[in-house]
Structure 1
Amino acid sequence: MTTINVPTRQEVSSVNRAIFDNIEKRFGVVPNLFATMAHSGNALSSYMALQSARSTISGKAREVVNLVVSQVNECEYCLAAHTVVGKMSGLSDEQIVEIRRGRVSFDSKLDAPARLTQGIVRNRGHVDPALVDAFFDAGWTKENLVDTIVAIGDKTITNYLHSTTKILVDFPAAPALD
């Protein structure tokens, strides 16, 4: 397999250098996955726009989606990154492991998007209507449903990028599930 490198700041376009600078200001570093997107003159800016777009799915709910998608897609990079981000959003190690299994017993409102997300990703969008009904029954709206699907798409992009490139994971490894 061809090795895909993580480009340095000097190897990317001036547009991507400016984005690197903004990412570094925000995160303190440019994560390898973001840097890898800079092999394209357009992908990094497009992805950053998607990731920073307004959404009704934010905070812990967004991390629920990120963790479930990454687990179903078996993305070690995104599981590692979102374990760190999940902790920053107030989730415990035990809660993160439970979320990765597609359940949230500690918060019934978050359980619905976890189950819905797992169903959507496992079935490539052909989700059981009962999961959609449960999502609405838990108090989520049609706007939340659309934003959840967009968040699934966002995370699927990075899952697929890592699965294809196998770039070095620059976050502590997420614990393995039993």
Structure 2
Amino acid sequence: MSRLNVPTRDDVSPANQAHFDTLTKGLGMVPNLYATLAHSENALGNYLALQNAKSSITGKAREVVNLVVSQVNDCEYCLAAHTLIGKMNGFSEAQVLEVRSGTASFDPKLDALARLTKAIAVQRGKVESALVDAFFAAGWTAENLVDTIVTIGDKTITNYLHAVTGVAVDFPAAPKLAA
């Protein structure tokens, strides 16, 4: 049940209307969670700037982080969105499910990323050195580590926003993980 309404373009400030127009042009819609950010004069623009900032974690790697963090935080909205985006980035349904569990046995480099990301999210950053060492041994860099942490923060923002607001999910539901 939604605790906040999902504002329409007519309900938001001129600055946020411009963001709605950009989102509609690029995505064909304004996702409900983004629209919810527009309750704030600044949050939507700030979030879009963070999400669209340059990063060494892009494409499939970014989706690994998004899927793992959303699973750890049990965010129905972000799991639905990123399951779809993960498939658009070339992951199979089975790979998406595995990544959500915190591993990627099909790719050693992504596996190290998934394992570290899960540990960071679950343990709130207090991870074993062995996981960080494995991350670097898999070919990731210090820049990648910092950008992974920023991406975890990015995804945590929307996970928490959905958890608090309960806005309707406007993407196909993500399948549940096997227990």
Separation (CA, whole Å) in 2 of partners of 1:66 and 1:29: 20
Q: CA deviation at 1:125?
A: 1.0
Q: Could you list the runs of 4 or more consecutive aligned residues of structure 1 that deviate by over 3 angstroms after TM superposition?
A: none
1:114 aligns with 2:108: no
Q: Counterparts of 1:44-83 in structure 2 under 5 Å?
A: 44-83=44-83
Q: State the Cα deviation string for residues 47-82 of structure 1 (Å, max 9, x = none).
A: 000000000000000000000000000000000000
1:148 counterpart SS class: helix
The residue type paired with residue 69 of structure 1 is: V
Q: Counterparts of 1:96-175 in structure 2 under 5 Å?
A: 96-175=96-175
2:144 counterpart SS class: helix
2:125 counterpart SS class: coil
1:153 counterpart SS class: helix
Separation (CA, whole Å) in 1 of partners of 2:2 and 2:60: 37
Q: CA deviation at 1:3?
A: 2.4
Change (3 A) 1:104 1:2: closer
Q: CA deviation at 1:128?
A: 1.2
Q: CA deviation at 1:46?
A: 0.2
Q: State the Cα deviation string for residues 88-115 of structure 1 (Å, max 9, x = none).
A: 0000000000000000000001001100
The residue type paired with residue 143 of structure 1 is: E
Q: Which residue of 1 aligns with 2:37?
A: 37
Preserved CA contact (<8 Å) 2:2 2:168: no
TM-score of the pair, normalised by structure 1: 0.98
TM-score of the pair, normalised by structure 2: 0.98
Give the unaligned 5+ runs of structure 1.
none
Calculate percent identity across the aligned residue pairs: 67
Q: Which residue of 1 aligns with 2:10?
A: 10
Give RMSD over aligned pairs.
1.0
The residue type paired with residue 130 of structure 1 is: A
2:126 counterpart SS class: coil
Separation (CA, whole Å) in 2 of partners of 1:29 and 1:68: 25
2:119 counterpart SS class: helix
Give the unaligned 5+ runs of structure 2.
none
Q: How many residues align?
A: 178
